[in-house]
Amino acid sequence: MSQPWWLMLITIAGLALVTVVTRAFFLIPQRELPLPQWLRRGLKYAPLAAIAAVVAPEVLIQQGQLIATLADARLPAVLAGGLWYFWRRGILGTIVVGMVVYMPLHLYFGW
């Protein structure tokens, strides 16, 4: 059953409008919005929380289930990358070290 073309056009325009308004909400005002101090403190942790929310399921879940074995190449890669980050505080090095550990374990050992 096909929808009329104008209904799809209205839907796309509405979604675009909602996206622009929500993403530009903090850019529209001429002066800084007053935020309570507790909210300012909480917003400092938002990027870390977002990264954890994306990375944790990717590392701990496989095909909708928690991983059942420690012989998974992702675990030593995360450990090595985490150690590198806490030693050097560099994102690029963290990614490189994690991938250097992950790739041989995954490709050659089948983890």
Residue 1 pLDDT: 57
pLDDT level of residue 94 (50, 70, 90 thresholds): very high
Residue 15 pLDDT: 96
pTM over 0.85: no
CB 60 within 8 A of CB 54: no
Lowest mean pLDDT among 2-11, 20-29, 43-52, 55-64: 20-29
In this prediction, residues 83-111 reach a mean pLDDT of 92
Dig out the tokens for 29 from the structure.
Answer: 């005002």
**How many of the other CB atoms lie within 10 Å of CB of 75?**
18
